[in-house]
Homo-oligomer: A and B are copies of this chain.
Amino acid sequence: MSFVRNAWYVAGWSRDFGDDLKPVTITGQNMVMFRASTGRVVALEDRCPHKLLPLSKGKRIGDTVQCGYHGMTFDCSGKCVRVPGQDNLPRSAYVDAFAVEERNGIVWVWMGEADKADPSKIFHMDEFDDPDWYAHHGGALHIKAHYLNVAENLVDPAHVSFVHPTTLGSAASEDVPVHVSTSGDVIAAWRWIRNAPPVGFFQKFGGFAGNVDRWHYYYLHMPSTAVIDFGSVDAGLNLPEDARDQGVRIFALHFVTPVTEDYTIDHWMHLRNTAQGDEEASAQMDAMFRIAFEEDKEVLEAIHEEEQRPQKRKPIRIAIDKAPNVYRKRIRDLIESEATEYLGEPERPTFVQLD
C-alpha cells in the first residue's frame, strides 16, 4: 500500500456535485457522493452491506440513499434507516461515512481515521480570497499511473524543457540548475531563466516579444497538492526574485488524487494576477495547459507500464532529483508512521543494573 490515509484529498470541483449519486474512488475506497438538501456534500461507502451492490446504482430518496437491489436505505451519516420486509434495523447495517469539506469551489474528503479529520489542515492560499487574484477551475486529468509519479513530476522543474518544448519550456532552460528547500510540510524547487526568449505560453499569454526573465517555483504540499508559481517579466527590468507580482504571474494548482495504485486524477486550476474575469484568456490558458498535461500523461503512463516490467538493476538518481527524492522519503515516513503506533518511551529503563 502506498497511500497516505490521514489526508484530505480532492474529490472534485463544487460544480461536480449535485443531486445525482456520483461514484468517486480515492485511495482505493469506492464512495458514493451527492449534495444533500442542506447544501453539504456527503460521501458514503459505495457498497450496500447486504449484497454488495454499489449504492451509486441505487437512488436518492430525499437525503437518503436507497439500494437498487432490495431497498435498504441509508442516511447521510451512513446509518441504515430502512430494511424493507422487516421492522428491526440491525446495528451492522451501516455504511462508512467520510468527512467532506468544501472550500473555494473545491470538495475535499478525509480518507483516514475519523477522529483525526481536522478541516484546518485543508490546503489554503490567501490568494483564493484576494480580489487581486482571479481563480479559474480548469479540469481533471485522468492518468493511468501511480500518484507518486504524478506528484513528483510537479516538483520537478527540469522536465519542462524536454516534455513541454512548445508551451512551458525551451532549450534555454535545459541546464539551468534547480534550487531546493523545504519548509514545514512543503517542498520547494525553483529556478530562474534570465534573459531568454519567452516560451510558447508567454508568447501567447502576456504578449512578450523580446527577452524575458522567467521563473518556476514548484511547491509540493504533502501529500500531493502542488502549487506552481510561474511567470515572466521583461528581461530589461531585472526583477528581484521577491517582486514577482510585478510580472505576469500565475499559480498553477494541481490536486493529485490517488484513485488506485494504477490510476490518478489531477484536478488542475490556476490563479492569475492579470486578465481578471476574462474568460477568453482562461480558455486560451486552458488550451495551452491541456497540451502540456497530455504530454505529461503520455510520459507518466509509459513509465507506469515500464514499472510493471521486471527490473534488472536499480534506477539511478541525478542532480535534478533532489526535490523528488525528499518527497519520496517523506511519503515513506508518513506511511510508516500510519502503519505503526508510537507508544512512547518506557517510564524507566528495562535493563538490569549489574553491580
Contact = CB atoms under 8 A, between A and B. Distances in A.
A52 B162 contact: no
A151 to B, nearest CB: 14
Contacts of A177: 85
Given A316-B92, A318-B83, A57 B162 contact: no
Given A84-B161, A85-B320, A320-B85, A306 B71 contact: no
Q: How many copies does the complex hold?
A: 3
A318 to B, nearest CB: 5
A85 B318 contact: yes
Contacts of A72: 318
A285 interface: no
A320 B72 CA distance: 11
A174 B71 contact: yes
Contacts of A196: none
A112 interface: no
A306 B50 CA distance: 12
Q: Is the interface of A mostly helix, strand, loop or mixed?
A: loop
A70 interface: yes
Interface string A85-105: 110001011000000000000
Given A83-B318, A175-B85, A313 B49 contact: yes
Interface in A73-122: 83-86, 90, 92-93
Question: In the complex, which of the residues A51, A84, A162, A307 has the most CB atoms of chain B within 10 Å of its own CB atom?
Answer: A51
Contact of A85 (B52, B83, B149, B178): B178
Contacts of A158: 70-71, 84-85
Interface stretch (A130-138, A207-215, A264-272, A295-303): A295-303
Nearest to A67: B162
A162 B68 contact: yes
A163 interface: yes
Contacts of A306: 47, 52-54
B319 A68 contact: no
Contacts of A302: 53-54, 57
Contacts of A92: 313, 316
A66 interface: yes
Contacts of A90: 316, 318
Contact of A163 (B68, B161, B163, B298): B68
Contacts of A128: none
A5 interface: no
A159 interface: yes
A123 interface: no
A323 to B, nearest CB: 12
Given A158-B85, A177-B85, A50 B319 contact: no
Interface in A34-78: 47, 49-54, 57, 66-72
17 contacts: A49-B316, A50-B316, A50-B318, A53-B299, A53-B306, A54-B302, A70-B158, A70-B159, A70-B162, A71-B162, A83-B319, A84-B174, A84-B175, A85-B174, A85-B178, A86-B319, A90-B316
Interface of A: 30, 47, 49-54, 57, 66-72, 83-86, 90, 92-93, 149, 158-159, 161-163, 174-178, 298-299, 302-303, 306-307, 309, 313, 315-321
